[in-house]
Structure formats: C-alpha cells, structure tokens
Structure 1
Amino acid sequence: MSSSSPRPWVATVAPPVALLVAVLVAPVWGGGHVGDNPTRMISVDNGGPWGEWGDPEFCPKRSHATGFQLKVEPHRGFFGDDTALNGVRLLCQDREVVTSSEGPRGTWSFPLSCGRGQRLVSFRLRVEAPRGLWDDTAANDLDVTCSDGTVLEGQGGPAGTWGNWSVACPPAWGVCGLRTRLEPPQPRGDDTGLNGVEMFCCA
C-alpha cells in the first residue's frame, strides 16, 4: 500500500468467526537477461495487496541460490500489530547473500540449504488474505524446492493459507535472484511488512 492511502489502526484480536479464504494461484513466467545470462521470472499470485515492489537483486554472474533465510516477526500478543514476514534472503553458491526490500521488524531465521550440488528451483507463499477491520499480516511464510526435489520449509508465521507452487526453473537452470513487495511502516496504521515475492531463474 502506498503512503498516499494509509489504512486506519485496527483491532488485533481475531473475529468471533474466522473466515477462511482459499487463495488460487496462477504461475507466471517472464523473460529477460542479466548481462548476457538469460533469466526467467517465476511468480505466484497469492501475495498481499499492499506496498511497492523493490529492485530485483541477483547472485553474482553464473551463480545460483542454494539456500534461503526468512526475516520473521513473532506474534506480538493480544494488542500487538503483527507483520509476520519482513524479508527473504537468497544464499548464493559463492557465499554471497542477496535480498530485495526488507522490513524493519523481526529476526533472521536459521539458514536452510539444499544438498551438495543442488539449487533452488521453485517456491510457494503462505499469505493471510485482507481481514477488514482486523489486524493484517499479508505474507507469513515461504517454502522452496531444490533441484533434487527436496522441500525446504521456511520458519515463518502461522497465519493465512498456502498457495500453489510456482512453476519450476527449466532443467539445468536455478533460482538466481528475487524481488519483494514491501509495505513501509505505517505510523498511524496497520503494518503488514512483506506482501509478495518473485524469483528469477538463470541458465
């Protein structure tokens, strides 16, 4: 959500009757280049509606991501304004770490990595749908799959529902970059932190 249309402060307690919203996901491809290295974007469409997309960030040339970390704010209690997921880091083959837009709350989880010689190839998001007058958190958690089929489960927040997996990178390709959609802190409103994630595959 842009700063030009702030949301009012809202109650943080759950309503008496929870409304479960099933989020349908449509995988998306997009093409491009990083230097002379061809790329394809993989995306899911169950992100939150607030904030702006940050700049794409990539592993060094010809390098793939082999692991990731999440920046997560724990539940803040009855009167707290929760934001859940605040950042995603990719851990590259050459030990570089890349991230896009990052919220100020939470701490980084223990890094999770694929097995030797493997790389990230797809992901999915856990997202809480907009809740009206109640506290919004938007994106809560992220899982990834490795090129050998192993699933690395993020240690994010528990709210919301999982969307479908993105399409996987083509054979012999791997995730090499990402960008994230972040709602900046709302001084007089309801903060949500991270709202969406896109990843990029490189040859």
Structure 2
Amino acid sequence: MCPEDTYATGFSLKVESYKGKAEDDTALNGIRLHCTHGSHSDKSKAHTVESQSGTWGQWAEPIWCPQGSYLTRFSLRVEQPRAGLQDGMGATNIRFACSGRETLEGRGLSWGEYGEWSPPCTKGLRGIQTKQEPIRGVLVDDTALNDVRFFCYSR
C-alpha cells in the first residue's frame, strides 16, 4: 500500500524479453506502483510498492501520469492459455488511465489481448496485489504474473 497521504502517480514493469521458440518465456513478471504526494518534483522521493514479482526479466524506468494527475484504472493484457507443450506466458502488459484522462501503456510484450478496463478509482490507486505462478522447474512451462488487483483510495 502507498504510504498515508500519497497515491500512485506512476508505475514500472519487470518484463522478460521474448527469447524465441525454443525457450520458456514468461513476459510480465512484476508491477510496481510509484507513490507521491502528487507533485512530480518529488519523483526521486517516490515510495515504491509492489506485491510478489517473478525472478525473470528486468525492471524498466517508471512511466508517470502528467503532473497533478494520478492512476485511476487499469486494463491487463493476457495471453490465453495454450494447450499441450506450447509455451504460455500469462500476463504480458498493462495499461493505466490517469485522472486527467491520459492513457499510459507499459513496455511489456504484444502477445494476448487487453481485458476490459477496471471500474475507476476516482480518488486514485494506492495498493497492489499480484498472483504469481511459482517456479515450476526444468522442462516445465513457467508463466510468472497471471493476475493483479489494485486497491482504491477510499477517502
């Protein structure tokens, strides 16, 4: 959860780049919220919150709402489960809407489809919970991040 009196004004993703047909790809491995008091002059002092994150991939630089706005809703991009021995990835990207109506898209992968937009958090997002598949081992398909839930500011 974001600290008291702060809200999510930016986010960053941990993504494993596509490795090719012969490798096990996991795509989206983590999501961080960057919480501020709303002024982007304090971006360097932003408090970062995250839930579980997978072990693969690299963290990208944060993506920020325009000054004075904050994250209000999201849409997760997910690849449908694959049958048999095909390589599944689970979640591959996410996009957020800011309070000023801007849309921010993560630097994830392009596989899968975006789901519907979540209901708006008119007072902003302030917490995160992710669903991660545990590491399954050698010669077994891993997917990493499979779902996410965000918590709204209620006051």
TM-score of the pair, normalised by structure 1: 0.69
Distance of 2:76 and 2:97 partners within structure 1: 12
Cα distance in structure 2, aligned partners of 1:160 and 1:174: 27
CA displacement at 1:63 relative to structure 2: 1.1
CA shift, 1:78, in A, is 2.0
Distance 2:129 2:21 in 1: 32
1:162 maps onto 2:114 in alignment? yes
1:132 maps to what in 2? 83
- The 5 A counterparts of 1:99-114 are 99-114=50-65
Hey, what does 1:79 align to over in structure 2? 22
* 1:35-184 alignment, distance < 5 Å: 58-93=1-36, 95-133=46-84, 134-170=86-122, 173-184=123-134
| Candidates 135, 150, 155, aligned match of 1:199 | 150
- Structure 2 CA distance for aligned equivalents of residues 138 and 156 of structure 1: 12
Note the residue ranges of structure 1 that are not aligned, 5 or more in a row: 1-57
Residue 41 of structure 2 aligns with which residue? none
Name 1:55's counterpart in structure 2: none
Q: Name the counterpart of 1:47.
A: none
- Structure 2 residue ranges without an equivalent (≥5): 38-45
**Aligned AA (2:144):** G
Over residues 9-39 of structure 1, what are the superposed CA-to-partner deviations in whole Å (9 max), with x where a residue is unaligned? xxxxxxxxxxxxxxxxxxxxxxxxxxxxxxx
Q: Which residue of 2 aligns with 1:49?
A: none
The residue type equivalent to 1:112 in the other structure is I
2-structure distance, mates of 1:140, 1:78: 16
Residues in 2 aligned to 1:184 and 1:76: alpha-carbon distance in whole angstroms: 20
Bigger Rg, structure 1 or 2: 1
After TM superposition, the runs of 4+ consecutive aligned structure 1 residues lying more than 3 A away are none
Which amino acid counterpart does residue 179 of structure 1 have in structure 2? Q
Percent identity among equivalent residues?
44
Q: Residues of 2 paired with 1:144 and 1:127: CA distance? A: 15
Deviations 1:128-150 (A, max 9, x none): 01111111101000000000000
RMSD of aligned Cα (Å): 0.9
